[in-house]
Amino acid sequence: MLLILAVFFLFAGGPVPGVNEAHYLAKAKHFWNPDWCPGDHFLSSEDGHAVFFWDFGWLTLFFPLPATAWLGRVLIWLLLAWGWQRVSYGCIPCRLLAVLTAALFVCLTHYAHFAGEWVVGGVEAKGFAFACLLFGLGYLVRDQWTPAWLFVGVATAFHVLVGGWSLCGILFVSLVHRGIGRTCQSWRPILVAVLFAVPGIWPAIQLTDVATPEQIGAANEIYVFERLSHHLVFHRIFYSHGGIFAWRFGALLLGWICCAWFFRRNGQVQRLYALVAAAVAIALIGILVDQLTLWHRAVAAFWLRFYWFRLSDVMVPLGVAIGAGLWWHTVRLNRHLLGQGLLLLLLLVAGTGLAARALARRTEYRPAAAMQADAALPDRMSSARERYADWVRVCQWIRTNTRPGARFLTPLRQQTFKWYAHRSEVATRKDVPQNARSLLQWHQRMEFVTNFQRRRGEPGALPDLLAQAVPYGITHIVIDRPLDRGGIPLARIYPLGVQRNRHFFVYRVMPR
């Protein structure tokens, strides 16, 4: 298990915050301490992952955010490693081979995904949900249905979509392998699983209970088509990046079909592969919904928000990784030369994938959250590092020299202001609220932030922009200095004197 943990560290052990860690852990910290970043629009919005915040967020009361992130990573990775070992050993009677299949799994999810899903990464609710799913799969391949149901119910409590689709998939597996009668006989564990899932389902239902149908429809369109189409909308994903996402996932799917045929008489693997088939079926329904609603935007937005491709992005790589490991284990004795060649190929694929990830972190030492918001070409890496260092520097100055209740208008190309500065901000693209009314307000705020960045250098535009800013209670503005066309006529408070910052200015709008 520790070797699998080492694989996960090699794959995802970059500096904090990860892509979603600044988003999730800031919300968790505010959940337990509302006086932290008071009045921040995103942090004050409804919580869609209450179980995660209750079970893990309390650590932010005792540890700083970076330490909390690393504690969470180690905990989630340990649970994932334990769960993966159970799944792999349940299908392949060789404990050491679980290390290789784990390496294959994380590489395949990263390099051959369709809709951008991942399992091993930073701290967020779905990490715990996927760990519970793996434990459930470990029982599923052993034909132990009661604990399988219960673990997937807990997964749903942590993340309603990860666990919810998994519950649907396991129901399909039970119907296929056990029939309707035996499935109905399991009504007690199924009922308990649903009860376990309620703490995850109920907050999701409440996200729309105070909104009108018009608000819900508008929020769905923003969520699906403007913010998360790269995860949700099939035709946009299919044609993005020259279709490479579709082609590589199609190749992976073909590999899984070959594995399913080759191991069609293996009971443990077939139960697992039935869940893979269910995940693919869910994705096919998502494709059908996408195509049938091409000219019905509101209907499409309502249905496509359910992440139809999330489970297949995980289960197909999982099926191929287990199948590849089992194939080697099957042929290694009777066909020695083929076994050696296959083992070398699997080691090459896994080793190359892990080495590429480690090399990328060595080349680009910025945290993933910084890279996502402010991507840099290879020939601009040095300037990107300098910009990141200046960003941390200005945030640390703000944290030390401004009042806790200050509210900032921040640059567009960032998503870590609250992480470093511990101050509230108007809006950032990453921090999308979950409930409909707050999402519409977020969209309005982002329009203001974008408009301010675009027009602030226009003669006579600033008074109008500041008048628009009044409802947001802005006390300070952080300006992206390379885009600062001659400055703005406000009191600059940083940098002054011996202070140096090539990339960011801070202006005071009003005292607070």
Tell me how many domains the chain contains.
2
Q: Are 391 and 284 members of one domain?
A: no
Claim to verify: residue 417 and residue 358 sit in the same structural domain: no
- d(CA 487, CA 507) in angstroms, rounded, equals 10
Which range marks the domain in which residue 399 is found?
Answer: 381-508
pTM of the model: 0.96
Residues 169 and 312 in one domain: yes
As a whole number of Å, the CA-based R_g of the chain is: 24
Is 389 in the same domain as 326?
A: no
Position 192 pLDDT exceeds 70: yes
Mean pLDDT of 307-323: 98
Angle between helices 125-140 and 160-185 in degrees, nearest 10: 20
Examine the domain organization and report whether 294 and 359 are in the same domain.
yes
| Mean pLDDT of the 234-238 span | 96
pLDDT, tens digit (0-9, with 9 covering 90-100), for 134-175: 999 999 999 999 999 999 999 999 999 999 999 999 999 999
Q: Where is the domain boundary, 313, 335, 363?
A: 363
Assess if residue 337 is contained within a domain.
yes
| pLDDT recorded at residue 462 | 84
Dihedral sign (CA 318, 323, 324, 328): positive
Report if residue 215 sits inside a domain: no
Q: Do 100 and 249 fall into the same domain?
A: yes
Task: State pLDDT tens for residues 31-40.
Answer: 999 999 999 9
Residue 7 pLDDT > 80: yes
Task: Using pLDDT thresholds of 50, 70 and 90, give the confidence band for residue 334.
Answer: confident
Q: Is residue 476 part of a domain?
A: yes
Question: ∠ CA 79-81-85 to the nearest 5 degrees?
Answer: 120
Degrees to nearest 5, angle at CA 431 with 426 and 437:
80
**pLDDT value for 483:** 62
Is position 174 within any domain? yes
204 band by pLDDT with thresholds 50, 70 and 90: confident
Per-residue buried b or exposed e for 75-105, using 16+ beta carbons within 10 Å of the residue's own CB = bbbbbbbbbbbbbbbbbbeeeebbbbbbbbb
Q: What pLDDT is recorded for position 332?
A: 81
In this structure, the answer to whether residues 394 and 352 fall within a common structural domain is no
Distance CA 52, CA 72 (A): 11
Work out the burial of residue 471: count CB atoms within 10 Å of its CB; fewer than 13 is exposed, 13-18 middle, 19 or more buried.
Answer: exposed
487 confidence band (pLDDT: 50, 70, 90): low
- pLDDT, tens digit, 9 for 90 and up, residues 12-33: 999 999 999 999 999 999 999 9
pLDDT band at 511 (very low <50, low <70, confident <90, very high): low
Under the banding of pLDDT at 50, 70 and 90, the label for residue 360 is confident
Percentage of the residues of the chain whose pLDDT score is greater than 90: 82
Kindly state whether residues 352 and 487 are assigned to the same domain: no
Q: What confidence score (pLDDT) does residue 418 get? A: 98
Q: Is 455 part of any domain? A: yes
Residue 439 lies in a domain: yes
For residue 107, how far is the Cα from the chain centroid? 16
Say if CB 267 and CB 261 are below 8 A apart: no
Dihedral over Cα of 400, 24, 358, 96: its sign: positive
273 and 420 in a single domain? The answer is no
Residue 286 to residues 130, 135, 158, 298, 341: CA-CA distances in angstroms? 21, 27, 23, 15, 38
At 2 the pLDDT is 93
Q: Are 313 and 441 part of one and the same domain?
A: no
Single residue among 317, 333, 363 that ends a domain in this structure: 363
Which residue among 363, 390, 406 closes a domain? 363
Decide if pLDDT at 488 tops 80. Answer: no
Distance CA 200, CA 158 (A): 6
* pLDDT of 72 strictly over 60: yes
Lowest mean pLDDT among 105-114, 231-240, 338-347: 338-347
Nearest to 65 by CA among 332, 459, 419, 360: 419
Residue 415 lies in a domain: yes
Run of H or E residues at 494: strand 491-494
> Same structural domain for residues 288 and 173?
yes
The answer to whether residues 385 and 355 belong to one domain is no
For residue 179, being part of any structural domain is answered with yes
| 207 secondary structure, DSSP code | T
User: Where residue 379 falls among pLDDT bands split at 50, 70, 90?
Assistant: low
Over residues 263-285, the pLDDT tens digits come to 998 989 999 999 999 999 999 99
CA angle 121, 125, 131 (to 5 degrees): 70
* Adjacency order of strands within the sheet including 407-409: 424-425, 407-409, 476-480, 504-508, 491-494
For the chain, the average pLDDT equals 94
